[in-house]
Amino acid sequence: MTGVYERALGEAAADLHPKVRDRYSLTPNDGTVCVGRGEMDITRGTLVLPALYAMTTQNMLFPEAGEDVPFSVTTVAYTTEGGHEAMTTRRAFDFGDTTRLFDSLTVWDAEAERLLDFLGTHGRIASELHPRVEDGALVVAGGRQWARLGNRYVPLPRPLAADVEVRDRYDEDDDRYHVTATVENDLVGHMLGYRGTFTQDQTAGDGTPDELRIVRGLDRLPPR
């Protein structure tokens, strides 16, 4: 079977480090749940603090920052109610007095042969994803973005859109995954970023827990 990122990468998936490919090759039928644990250094901009606070209610971005923040990431693949292959990623950042979640659902649009990301608990923001391989690492950049209103998609104008890049690699010297993520905006500059390392375990699951089916009702996908 082929995971959603492997479908998007095509033959280039073979150039991923085996550990990275293993992490992103989950399929709806394999019943595997991946859980990574480590620490992250987190930065955030100051001009967007009100927006970051508002996004916490949707399990999207957040206003806290810090060093060596305990972190976990859970990934599981399943088929959505609309019949699309998908993978949930739930990131949890433990700031001591509060834990912030950052959820996303990555969907393979087989008809358009593209990868889409739906951010937050209800997938209010949708984005095209453009993955590539660099020196065995998976690098993912965001593309066109929409506000999702039920089954309607409203394109986000450039000033409201975010430039997102995530880089995920495996280092054999310390046997850990290394991830760097940045979220920038043309108007306000730096919004959020995190960088750190983690280890990962895989366990056999018994179906996808309801709390990880973060987006419901994806009958329609964004326009091409």
Domain coordinates in residue numbering, the chain: 4-212
Please tell me the predicted confidence (pLDDT) of residue 203. Answer: 87
Nearest CA-CA partner of 171 in 196, 206, 142, 144: 196
Please tell me the predicted confidence (pLDDT) of residue 1. Answer: 53
Longest dimension (CA), the chain: 47
Q: How far apart are CA 201 and CA 178, in angstroms?
A: 15
- Beta-carbon count within 10 A of 96 CB: 9
Please tell me the predicted confidence (pLDDT) of residue 29. Answer: 85
Number of helices and strands in the chain (H, E): 3, 11
Burial grade of 22 (CB within 10 A; 0-12, 13-18, 19 or more) = middle
Query: Token pair for residue 182?
Result: 């940045």
Please tell me the predicted confidence (pLDDT) of residue 5. Answer: 97
Task: Give the global pTM.
Answer: 0.94
Hunting for tokens 């750190």 — which residue is that? 196
CATH, range 4-212: 2.40.128.20
Per-residue pLDDT of the chain (224 residues; tens, 9 = 90+): 589 999 999 999 999 999 999 999 999 888 889 999 999 999 999 988 999 999 999 999 999 999 999 999 999 999 998 899 999 999 999 999 999 999 999 999 999 999 999 999 889 999 999 999 999 999 999 999 999 998 899 999 999 999 999 999 999 999 999 999 999 999 999 999 999 999 999 888 777 888 888 898 888 999 99
Nearest CA-CA partner of 88 in 195, 207, 224: 207
